[in-house]
Structure 1
Amino acid sequence: MNNHIVDHPQVLITGAGPTGLTLAIDLARRNIPVRIIDQATAFFAGSRGDGIQPRTLEVFDDLGVLDAVRAAGAPAPVMRAYSGGEFAGEHRMAEPVEPTPAVPYPNLWVLGQSRTEAILRDRLAQFGVRVELATALVSFEQDETGVTAELAHDGSIETVRVAYLIGADGGRSTVRKTLGIPFEGNTDDSIRMLLGDVSANALDHDYGYWFAAVGHPMEGIALSPLPGGSQFQFGAPLSEDVEPSLEVLQQLVDQYSGNPDIVLTDLTWATVWRPNIRLAQRFREQRVFLAGDAAHVHPPTGGQGMNTGIQDAYNLGWKLAAALAGDESLLDSYESERQTVAARVLGISTELLDKLVDGHADAMDRGEQTRQLDISYRDPADQGVLVAGDRAPDAPLKDEAGQSIRLFDLFRGPHATVLSFGASNEHADQPGTERYEVIRPGDHSSGRYVVDVDGHAHAAYHAVPGTTVHIRPDGYIATAPAHRPD
């Protein structure tokens, strides 16, 4: 085998799912040389994580892929429930919520994971970076200045030297196992579900379906429409050890629906799922980091796993950029912030799974806790209304030309943002920070400004004249809103 060394990338990401792709985009748009590899020989083709939560939609807004995701996807469908083949009513997992000035994307958006990944790959390619398939991480060693990794591809071993290595390589993570980090939790082999993507005739693709056993409303099969075609994501319990196949799926449909007209075709993805609920003991070891399923594995209930991984990446990207620019102080906060969030989200997902298994009447209901808009990195001792670590709200504004814009338009990009509500006596901002004065109609400004026409920005940030708010590149409050002394 040939061996040669490459020394130009600063960050190596192993794993090209939503987590790895999000991180690669965030680094590439900061002009940080990055490589992203995946040992798979072809891109994943399946729906898997098909629910995109509101906070992730805000991340996608910042990364420049929201329009494509919204164009390709659809709102969560109304579910039609049947018992013993008889129509039993319609149900939504969550009632649609109207957008507000502070929360522009309040509802779940549905798009098969493989299509989300394709959109992220297209965006990454705009920065000149492409996923390297059939490339496996064989081993790595780190020292005080970097990581030396061996990659296998094309029958040869390549040695690459990078500043940081990111393991976004899933629940069986090579990176985590090499580091010897415990993956604490459990696998419940008593619960098995068959998941797959299939087409189904005789069903209206504008709706989802729940076919339940007579007298057992929580026992049955679900078919949820996937946008952009005729397929449904299929989910059903399995009581015996069988291989996922179209024939098995058809038998389950026949059993629970009682409708011989429903014929399944075009099985493009299938898997047997078992509850595997785990959290890595550490998310970092010196210059190596874990993100996504490599750090935490969730049950599918609540649609939290993919979204949590994407937000791991969004949290880590700007901190890696700061470290590469000479300030490594922020890197420690990645584990403290994201491990706490992952533990909380695992608790939510597990509680919803337990409700489903126990047959609770509200097991399919979803509310505020799954939207991830309330995730905060605040100090638990801080009981303020809006404090450091909280999500920075959106608000409609007018720019200097009188055009309608939003706070999210000001935040978009790799920079930090400072909002000064009225004139500020603060010193000049650090490089990579953009400052705006937020003024009311009729007020004047000596610097770059936006107009809070309807007062929504002042209300969202509880601002008075002299309030200054620093906002991190990932859209969270960096410092509590400060008020200028009179």
Structure 2
Amino acid sequence: MRVLITGGGPTGLTLAIDLARRGVDVRVIDKTDSFFPGSRADTIQPRTLEVFDDLGVVDAILDAGSLAPSYRVHLDGRAVEERRMAELRAPRPDQPYPNPWTLGQAQLEDILRSRLAELGARVELATELVSLEQDEHAVTACFGAGETARFDYLVGADGGASTVRKAIGVAFPGTTDETFRLMIGDVHAPSLDPTTGHWFAAATSPMTGVAMTPLPGTGMFQLNTAIGMDDDASLTTMQNALDRFSADVHLTGCHWSTVWRPNVRLAERFRVGRVFLAGDAAHVHPPTGGQGMNTSIQDAYNLGWKLATHTSLDSYETERRAVAATVLKASDDLLRLYATGHAEAHQRGEEHLGLHISYRPQTATGRLAPGDRAPDAPVQDSTGKRIRLFDLFRGPHATQLVFGAPAPDTEHTYAVLRPSDDPTGCGQYVIDTDGNALAAYSAYIAQTDGHVLVRPDGHLASRGSTGADDW
């Protein structure tokens, strides 16, 4: 099978890695001449860290980045306190990555490209999709250099101005607010403490100001602030914004910058025939809340195994469009709070972490149901080694857990036993030494006679044992 992905950002790279590790012949193209250089989306949420764990890149991401920082609040140029947008959370048995992680988008993309190269694929720069046609069997793609090629599927991960979305005639309704503009840039500020973030504002209006977030491994800060209608994203504009609140911060250089306007849009469809939309090509988010890139990566993770196995392709749009609509509303609401200087704009709750994303049907009830994220738990393998359920899930396969009974002797099927259970005749098994696995899945076990099937994307399947209609 051959799949073409247009767009070499986090969405396209995540999908390409997922397909390549499944043995799919994947081609990734990007019309730009060089890789993106800036930080832009610099927050990786906990659920996305779990995705990257499965894809084999989480260690590199954790090494390169850092916890989301606390912010030193400067009012009228004087440091008055330090605060966090959210309290740090301790790891739990079911949640190994409890906190958001900070890493510039360019650095993240570099890690993902390296992983893709290990799998034998790469991003082709300066390669533009000009047009496409599809029939019952394949998609024909025409490129700028006059090349034509056939693919089984095509995925548009080519941003808000998506060529693919336009080619398949999918509407992109939403709103663009021309009255509110944000400047985002990566800057050098040698006088600032690089171990923390900084918030500069006036004492009379403490919720409206300039945010400076340290970018791990770069020696730079990402600067965010609202600007006027006639302002550009130059270093001079950034310095002038800071000078309104402090005379002591001097910017010595700008690596990358952009001006952003509230542009909130959701594609009417995520699939037409053999062509799919993912990431910003399907939904455009405000930067508030750090949700856009994370939602896009989740698109790719949901779609990859379905394309590779030709399984439940219609469910991609059903599952992901509903999630995108919910996240878009939350991000837009948060932006409005920020624009009005409301204190809640600087607070983040568990709803932003991605750990509650679910594809459960509306009729489902209970603490854990089909479509929910499959929880993690520490267990012990048959050799006595301490591992996690996520270690069993990791890879391009579904995983079946059988609680309290012998498991079928099939690959990626494990009996989950109590310490007092006799493992004789159980085939592959793990010991739930502390009872965390049983506690995490108890609400679901009763519905499935102890058989729990975990989809390749880490969500619970609709039934407990493998089969064509379990997803």
Indicate the TM-score class for this superposition, using the shorter chain for normalisation.
Answer: over 0.9
Q: For 1:38-437, list aligned pairs within 5 A.
A: 38-152=30-144, 156-259=145-248, 262-323=249-310, 328=311, 330-423=312-405, 434-437=412-415
Q: 1: CA distance between counterparts of 2:195 and 2:303? A: 38
Match of 2:441 in 1: 461
Q: Give the root-mean-square deviation of aligned CA atoms.
A: 1.5
Aligned residue in 2 for 1:5: none
Gaps of 5+ in 1: 1-8
Query: Within the alignment, does 1:442 sit opposite 2:424 as a pair?
Result: no
The CA distance in 1 between the partners of 2:121 and 2:170, in whole Å, is 30
What residue in structure 1 maps to residue 469 of structure 2? none
Paired residue type of 1:80: R
Tell me if the contact between 1:422 and 1:466 (Cα under 8 Å) persists in the aligned partners.
Answer: no
TM-score by length of 1: 0.92
Does the Cα contact within 8 Å between 1:84 and 1:258 map onto a contact in 2?
A: no
SS in 2 for 1:98: coil
* C-alpha separation in 1, matches of 2:462 and 2:138: 31
CA distance in structure 2 between the partners assigned to 1:289 and 1:300 by the alignment: 24
Per-residue displacement from partner, 1:85-120 (whole Å, max 9, x unpaired)?
122311101100000000010100000000000000
Instruction: Provide runs of 4+ in structure 1 moved above 3 Å.
Output: 463-466
Residue 250 of structure 1 aligns with an amino acid whose one-letter code is Q
SS in 1 for 2:319: helix
Shift of 1:221: 0.7
Asked if structure 2 preserves the Cα contact closer than 8 Å seen for 1:469 and 1:479, the reply is no
| Alpha-carbon displacement from aligned partner over 1:296-336 (angstroms, at most 9, x marks no partner) | 0000110000000000000000000111xxxx5x0000000
- Contact 2:162–2:281 (Cα < 8 Å) also in 1: yes
Shift of 1:425: 7.8
Aligned amino acid, residue 416 of structure 2: V
3-state secondary structure, aligned to 2:124:
coil
Q: CA–CA distance in 1 between the matches of 2:196 and 2:110? A: 25
In structure 1, the residue matched to 2:26 is 34
User: Which amino acid in the other structure matches residue 298 of structure 1?
Assistant: H
Asked if structure 2 preserves the Cα contact closer than 8 Å seen for 1:386 and 1:480, the reply is no
User: How many angstroms apart in 2 are the aligned matches of 1:393 and 1:247?
Assistant: 49
Q: Which amino acid aligns with 1:335?
A: E
The aligned length equals 460
- Alpha-carbon distance in structure 2 between the residues aligned to 1:480 and 1:32: 27
TM-superposed CA distance for 1:351, in Å, is 1.1
User: Which TM-score applies when normalising by structure 2?
Assistant: 0.95
Unmatched 5+ residue regions in structure 2?
466-471
Give CA-to-partner distance per residue, 1:13-53, whole Å, 9 cap, x none. 00000000000000000000000000010000000000000
> What's the secondary structure of 2:106's corresponding residue?
helix
1:471–1:479 contact (8 Å) kept in structure 2:
no
- Would the aligned equivalents of 1:79 and 1:207 in 2 still touch at CA under 8 Å? yes
C-alpha separation between the residues in 2 aligned to 1:107 and 1:194?
26
Q: Is the 8 A contact 2:71 2:82 kept in 1?
A: yes
For 1:342 and 1:353, locate their aligned partners in 2 and report how far apart those are by CA, in whole Å.
16
Partner of 1:3: none
SS class of match (1:257): coil
SS of residue in 1 equivalent to 2:422: coil
- Give the whole-Å Cα distance in 2 for the aligned partners of 1:24 and 1:278: 25
**Identity of counterpart residues, as a percentage?**
57
The separation in 1 between residues aligned to 2:464 and 2:210, in whole angstroms, is 49
- Could you tell me how far apart the structure 2 residues matched to 1:305 and 1:425 are? 40
